[in-house]
Structure 1
C-alpha cells in the first residue's frame, strides 16, 4: 500500500508517495524554518496525491535531522533547525492532516533503513551510514536491529565526535566535531575566514551565492581548495573510523548529494579508514546509494508500513 513520505532536510523538504521501493511521485518545497512549513507540506502532499491518482494511502513517514522521540512522535533537539517541531506531536499532525497513522524517525536512521531494506546494502544485518551534507548524520544497524538507545540518541551523533581537539566550536556545544570541521556550514565559514580561499575558484563561487560540498569537489584542482578537500576527507574518515570501532559493521554506507561523485570520494575515504582502524578490525566494504537523494524516502516507506520490523530493543517500547 502507498505511503506518504516527508523528509525534512537541512535546506528543503522532500516529499514522496512510495509503495515499498517503488517511488510513485515526488516533489520538493523550500525549508522556511517556520511552522508554515507544515501547512506547505500538507498542501503539497494533497496535490501530489491528487496528481498521482492515489486515495489509498496507508500511512505517513516523517524524518527530521535531529534527535527524535519516537515514543511521542516529536523532535527532541536539532540545533538551529526546526524549532517549531520540538516537542510537537507530529503523529497527531499527520493523523489530523491525512487521517492515517504516522511514524517519526531521525533522517539518518531512515536512510539506513532505506538502503539496508531496498537499496545498495539490502539484506545487510550489520552496517553504519554516514550522510555528508549541510551537517553530518550517522546511524547504525547491529544484528538487523536499528540502534536507538534508551534516550533515542544512540549512533546518530557520529558527526559530533571530536576530530580536532583545537578545532572550531560546533553549534552542538562541543569543539572540533567532524561536522564543525567538514560540512556545508563549515565550508561557508572556512571560505569567509580565509583570504586565500576567498580568492580561489571556490571563493568566486561563494561570492555569487551559497556553496556546498559539490563546489568544494569541483574546484579541488586549485591548490588551496585541494588542501581543504583533503582535510575534509580526513575528517570524514576519522568519524567513520570511530563508527567502525564502536559498531563493527560489515558495510559502511556513505550517502549525501556529493556522493554522486563517489568515484572521486569513496576510494581515498575507504583507504583512510582501512589504514587507521585497529589492527584486527574488520575492513568493511564501502558503498554509496545509486540515488542518495531518495535514501530517506525509501526508509520511511519501510518504516511507515512495518515499524515493528525495525524496532531496536528499547526500554520505552517495552513499557
Structure 2
C-alpha cells in the first residue's frame, strides 16, 4: 500500500511516501505566507515521480471537523484553508479521498504505531515549537470530544489569570509564556535582554528560538527564560496527566534535539507536582521526531474505506 503523507506545518511543508508502513521518501520545503494548494499538489506529484497512491493523509495545525475532511480553525494560520474540503481536493488531485487530522494527534499516532510509545494505549503528547501542541489517547483511541477540540488545546491552559490575551482568545495561556512566538515577542518588547552569546545568535539569524535559550543557559537572561519555560511546560504536562492518566508521556518538537538537557529536568518537575497517588509516567522523546506526523497521518489514512470513512 502506498500512501502520500502531507504535513502542513507552521513554516514548512513536509511530504512523505509510506509504503506498507515504511516511510520510504521524505521532502521538506519552505511555505510562503501566500502559498496555494496548487503548490502542494505539484510538490506531492514531484515526490511520487508519477506513481499512483492508495491513500492520502493530510495533517494541519488546528481544529479538524468530525468527518476528518477539513480545517475548521487555526489561529493566525492558513485562513485560506478554513472550511476548504481537503479530502475532496485530494480526490480531485490524486484520485483518493484524504484523511485530515490535527498534526499533534497525527504525531501521537505515529509514535504509538511504530515509534517511542509503540504498543501503549494511554498516552499524552506535548510538542514544543512555534506554539505548544498537545494530544491524548485513552484505551488506544484518540481523544476528540463532541466538537473535535478535546485533548489538543492544553497549550492554551491558563497559567496566569491576569496574563496577556492570547491570539486564541483566552488570557494567560501557556503559549503566551513558553513558545517560540512568545519568546520572540518578549525580545521585541525588551522584556528579554539577551546576553552576549544570545545576542550574537540574534544578530546572525535575525531571530532566536527555544534551542538558543537552552544552548546559552550559562547567561543569566537565558537561564531565567528557560526557568520560566520549564515551569510552564511542567504545568501543561501535569494538567494532561491529571486529566488523562497516561502510562507514558511523549515530549517532542525541534527543541527536543536538546532532550539530554530538557527531559530530565522536565521529568523531575512533573513528577514532583503530580497528585500524591498519581502514577509517575516516564517522559520520552521520539528517536525521529521530524517524521512523527508523516508516519501517523499515513497510518490514519490507511484505515479509510472506499467512501472515505475511517
Task: Quote the RMSD (CA, aligned, Å).
Answer: 1.7
Name the structure 2 match of 1:9.
Answer: 9
Within the alignment, does 1:135 sit opposite 2:134 as a pair?
Answer: no
CA contact (8 A) 1:252 1:284 kept: yes
Please state how far the C-alpha of 1:219 moved relative to its aligned partner: 1.3
Query: Matched residue of 1:162: which SS?
Result: coil
Shift of 1:2: 1.4
Deviation at 1:288?
A: 0.5
Quote the offset at 1:214 in angstroms.
1.4
Give me the whole-angstrom Cα distance separating, in 1, the residues matched to 2:68 and 2:289. 28
Do 1:137 and 1:157's aligned partners in 2 also have CA atoms closer than 8 Å? yes
Q: Does 1:248 align with 2:218?
A: no
User: Offset at 1:202?
Assistant: 2.2
Uncovered stretches (5+) of structure 2, i.e. residues with no partner: none
Q: Which residue of 1 aligns with 2:170?
A: 174
Instruction: Deviation per CA, 1:209-255: give whole Å up to 9, x if none.
Output: 12211111111111111111111011001000000010000000001
Residue 28 of structure 1 aligns to a residue in which SS? strand
Q: How many residues align?
A: 306
Residue aligning to 1:49: 48
Measure, in 2, the Cα distance between the counterparts of 1:89 and 1:297: 20
Structure with a larger share of its residues in helix: 1
Q: 2:104 aligns with which of 90, 105, 108?
A: 108
Query: What TM-score do the two structures reach when normalised by structure 1?
Result: 0.92
8 Å CA contact 2:135, 2:152 repeated in 1: yes
Q: Given the superposition, is the C-alpha separation of residues 89 and 147 from structure 1 closer, same or farther in structure 2, using an over 3 Å criterion?
A: same
Q: Deviations over 1:266-298 (max 9, x none)?
A: 001011000001111111111110011111001
Q: CA deviation at 1:6?
A: 0.6
Q: 1:84 to 1:168 in 2, by over 3 A?
A: same
Q: TM-score, normalised by structure 2?
A: 0.94
Task: Give the equivalent residue in structure 1 for 2:142.
Answer: 146
1:200 Cα deviation from its structure 2 partner? 4.1
Q: State the alpha-carbon separation in 2 of the partners of residues 60 and 159 from structure 1.
A: 28
Which structure 1 segments of 5+ residues have no match? 309-316
Give the C-alpha shift of residue 201 in structure 1.
2.6
Cα separation, partners in 2 of 1:290 and 1:221, compared to 1, 3 Å = same
Q: 1:55 to 1:195 in 2, by over 3 A?
A: closer
Moved runs in structure 1, 4+ residues, more than 3 A? Answer: none
Aligned 8 A contact 1:20 1:301 in 2: no
Preserved CA contact (<8 Å) 2:195 2:219? no
Q: 1:37 to 1:206 in 2, by over 3 A?
A: farther
Contact 1:31–1:37 under 8 Å retained in 2: no
Equivalent residue, structure 2, for 1:312: none
Measured against aligned partners, the alpha-carbon deviations of 1:169-202 in whole angstroms (never above 9, x if no partner) come to: 2111111111111001011011222366245432
| Partner SS for 1:33 | coil
- Residue 311 of structure 1 corresponds to which residue in structure 2? none
